[in-house]
Structure 1
């Protein structure tokens, strides 16, 4: 058994992408993070459309991983909801700060991947724990 079980490249890319879009920038004074989605989404219409396309990159990575169509549909629904909220003047801009569809979609990807690889992850973790315990007793 390979004790170096790693998340697939697509999932790692999706995590980085979601971080950039949803939480890359820490706001001063208040404990809140925003990303490009919140900033670019302030541009009426075009900003929201650009962020919808950016969000679909995460969905395409999920499809490339082989995620089931039901989960992909949920991810599309999350992105479209974010897009639709952006069209409501002012309220949509505020919603962009709180509704993090890209992060939600990556969480769906992570849960799906871990559910499908739990046995391998558990085995690898146990092997590393055993090796660590052996080092302590030497």
Structure 2
């Protein structure tokens, strides 16, 4: 009987206390910013960068996903204004620089605004839980 070697994929560790909404945010950010890898390199990119190659349409689509993430942070997680401002600045920077042909696409691959914003959301949520023992919700 032939045995196959398991593939070596570095999986992201998801905390056991994570709920379905948190998992959705992680998966969305991963899909948008790091779902694909250039073979032979450590460079990862996502749907945001692929769609961003289409002039006009790509930047609007990526901006809409980022806006939805920020609205979720405001209304669902009730994050502090300082965190929301940082998330908005990440999205504005990504959308503005991303609109520049070629240079913007390279910037998008390196900056990964969705993953940055989800990290900000998680850190703020964890800080609030630590202070009160309960999540924002």
Q: Distance in 1 between matches of 2:105 and 2:35?
A: 17
Query: 1:116 and 2:125 equivalent?
Result: no
Matches of 1:55 and 1:118 in 2, distance apart? 27
Which residue of 2 is the match for residue 18 of structure 1? 29
Please tell me the root mean square deviation across aligned C-alpha atoms, in Å.
1.9
Superposition pairs for residues 1-40 of structure 1, below 5 Å?
A: 6-40=17-51
Residue number in structure 2 paired with 1:126 = none
Bigger relative contact order, structure 1 or 2 (CA pairs below 8 A, ≥6 apart): 1
Shift of 1:91: 0.7
Residue equivalent to 1:61: 72
Separation of aligned partners in 2, 1:58 and 1:27: 27
Q: Unpaired runs of 5+ in structure 1?
A: 122-138
**Which stretch of structure 1 is more off in the superposition, 98-107 or 62-71?**
62-71
Asked which structure has the greater CA Rg, the reply is 1
Is structure 2 residue 62 aligned with structure 1 residue 51?
yes
Displacement of 1:103 in angstroms is 0.6
Equivalent residue number for residue 93 of structure 1: 105
Change over 3 Å in CA distance of 1:71–1:62 after alignment to 2: same
| Structure 2 stretches lacking a partner, 5+ long | 1-15
Structure 1 position 9, deviation (Å): 4.1
Cα distance change, pair 106–10 in 1 and its aligned pair in 2 (3 A): same
TM-score, normalised to structure 2's length? 0.77
TM score, norm. by length of structure 1: 0.76
